[in-house]
Amino acid sequence: MQVMPDSIAENMQSRQAPRFLPCGDTALCVEFGDSIDRRVSALVLALAGRVEALAIPGIVELVPTFRSLTIHYDPSVLLQTELRAKLSPLLSDLEPAEGAGRLWRIPACYDPSLSPDLAEVATRTGLTPQQVAERHSAVTYHVYMVGFLPGYPYMGDLPPELALPRREDPRTKVPPGSIAIATTLTAVYTLESPGGWHLIGRTPAPLWDLRRDQPVVLQAGDKVVFRPIPLGEYDALLAQAAAGTFRLEPEERLDRGGRA
Amino acid sequence: MKPLLKVVASGLMTTLQDLGRHGYQRLGIPVSGALDGVSLRAANLLAGNSPGTGALEIAYQGPTLAVEAESIRVAYAGGTAAIEILSGEDASSGVRLQPLQSARLRKGQILRIGALSGSAVGYLAVEGGFDVAPVLGSHSTYARAGLGGLEGRPLRAGDILPLKQQQADDRQERMLPSLALAPPPHIRVILGPQDDYFSNEGKRTLLESVYTVSPASDRMGMRLAGPALEHARGYNIVSDGTAPGAIQVPGNGLPIVLLADRQTTGGYPKIATVISADMPALGRLMPGAKVAFKAVDVAAAEAAHRQHRADLDAIADSIVGVRAAIDAAKLLESNLVSGMIDAHD
């Protein structure tokens, strides 16, 4: 069962003790759970914030994921026992916090010509394609993590009626910008890549753009709403994106807890 | 005129690599970098560069490069290969270039590197480095995303590689008497992070079997052929972060060791992780090579890491100057080195 954002703080009693998992001698994983869960995610992001604020010498980088924080470090500077000793006090009174909470409105075109799996998703969920698009764009998503591809955001949670398992026949090539759903999650393919999720739309927004100083737009902890656009606007925005003149900006800061 | 190296033939998979692109994994951007950081450092030090300078990583079959600069200085370290310097006019009469020794090439000369043996990779460093803009702080090529290197991809025939230095510095050549690149008897691992997803039998299989490097391996992962590893509770996990050397095991039970271009997160359980000191040796393994794993604890891995750092530092100290007219390799063989080779620095 998915924990809703406003109940994050109320579910502390079900919290399991975090575990340290060695990942060789250059990384340590702090695991808070084994599910996709907003409360677990908020603990991961809270720890990432604390570790970052401490600026511990020897820590190279942090990778927050659904359920754990992977800490990459330099064993020439920091031993794993030392790292554990520095982390333990940060864990004892850790409160869930989802971070900065930037809200992004991402244009999404659900036109059939850009949505190869929309009809099938509609059939399998007992909805019309229009209803799938409406429900997909009615929710504020939480970016749990970025991975798989540069800039690929794992976002959730989907309205329960849209949840489907991954495709049985993954595609070898998914076009960049494809908006996809699978299980309880939605994502945007930032690059052409193989992929097994259902493609229900396309965004013209460049979520991976090497011409930018910061080539990746979405980061773990961000919030996303898809804004439905017609095909004509998609084409116009895509042309702007190609010319480098379409820049997505976060719309507002959110209160902690992630309510839009 | 801009000093250049022109790619006459690309080799099988030649990419610009340095020590990797750190700090962007949380954005899904892999680290990349040299598969064999030992040879990369050696080639750079011989060429007169700082050890982590971007150099050409050559996999399996080397490129042919034409010098379009007044002069350049190069050095090669890594898998054994025939390296020839050909004059433009007479391509049949090659002069052998020794590995682990710098050499100066003149305009019009052609450098031809043959097939590699003993290691899957070798590194060609050019004095001063390549004049290519770093992407996110690194020259490393990550071809899947078109990132870094030369246009984000392996070299192709006809490519032009701009060089930083107009001509080779006027100085003595350098050589390294030896560089230990032979495969160790075991690749050492630390169990975890998800060893609890495997049965005791599965863990024993990993540590007691001999695996063979599959030809399907690439810079992202080394696929191993051999006995399948038994999972204890499924083979899908909720995705988490990956470390270099993580041994992930998908549903078919066959291990994949994650290498330089590994994705930053993954959804397969990882039974063990190769220790950092053994990653260069792992990166050198050719398809068909045998691999056996041995479990160590974190403290042993950290001790191995310190030894590895000391070995890397010792490379710089071992480099000696070579008088131009002397065939240093021959002298070494006949133990006549003393007095003929000047210690460098």
pLDDT tens digits, B207-239: 999 999 999 999 999 999 999 999 998 888 999
Q: How far apart are CA B95 and CA B125, in angstroms?
A: 19
On whether any CB of chain A is under 8 Å from the CB of B312, the answer is no
Kindly determine whether residue B28 and residue A68, on different chains, have CB atoms separated by under 8 Å: no
Nearest CA in chain A to B261: A149
Q: For residue B8, what is the enclosing H or E element?
A: strand B4-9
CB-closest option in A26, A65, A220 to B239: A65
Share of chain B above pLDDT 90, in %: 87
Q: How far apart are CA B15 and CA B276, in angstroms?
A: 22
Q: How far apart are CA B100 and CA B47, in angstroms?
A: 10
Residues A136/A224, Cβ–Cβ less than 8 Å: no
Whether the pLDDT of residue A99 is over 90: the answer is: no
- Mutation target vs B (from A23, A77, A78; most B CBs, 10 A cutoff): A23
Tokens of B312: 């890397």
Residues A137/A218, Cβ–Cβ less than 8 Å: no
State the first-to-last Cα distance of chain B, in angstroms, to the nearest integer: 33
Kindly determine whether residue B302 and residue A27, on different chains, have CB atoms separated by under 8 Å: no
Whether the pLDDT of residue A260 is over 80: the answer is: no
What residues pair up with B56 in beta bridges, in sequence order?
Answer: B16, B124
Looking at residue A17, its pLDDT comes to 87
Nearest CA in chain B to A216: B27
On whether any CB of chain B is under 8 Å from the CB of A174, the answer is no
Whether the pLDDT of residue A73 is over 50: the answer is: yes
Kindly determine whether residue A62 and residue B26, on different chains, have CB atoms separated by under 8 Å: yes
A173 neighbourhood in chain B, CB within 8 Å: none
Instruction: Quote the minimal CA–CA distance from B265 to chain A in Å.
Output: 5
A24 neighbourhood in chain B, CB within 8 Å: 189-190, 243-246, 273-276, 301
Q: How confident is the model at residue A98 (pLDDT cuts 50, 70, 90)?
A: confident
Give the residue among A129, A214, A209, A132 at the shortest CA–CA distance from A176: A209
CB-closest option in A29, A81, A219 to B27: A219
Whether the pLDDT of residue B62 is over 50: the answer is: yes
Nearest CA in chain A to B274: A24
Looking at residue A7, its pLDDT comes to 42
On whether any CB of chain A is under 8 Å from the CB of B138, the answer is no
Q: How far apart are CA A142 and CA A155, in angstroms?
A: 5
Report which of residues A67 and B93 the model is more confident about: A67
Tokens of B186: 């075991």
Kindly determine whether residue A24 and residue B242, on different chains, have CB atoms separated by under 8 Å: no
Give the residue among B107, B61, B109, B106 at the shortest CA–CA distance from B82: B61
Looking at residue B150, its pLDDT comes to 97
Q: For residue B75, what is the enclosing H or E element?
A: strand B71-80
* Model confidence pLDDT, tens digit, residues B101-112: 999 999 999 999
* Model confidence pLDDT, tens digit, residues B111-147: 999 999 999 999 999 999 999 999 999 999 999 999 9
Whether the pLDDT of residue B333 is over 50: the answer is: no
Whether the pLDDT of residue B50 is over 90: the answer is: yes
* Model confidence pLDDT, tens digit, residues A130-169: 999 999 999 999 999 999 899 999 999 999 999 999 998 8
The rounded mean pLDDT for chain A is: 90
Judged by average pLDDT, the poorest of A170-184, A208-222, B9-23 is A208-222
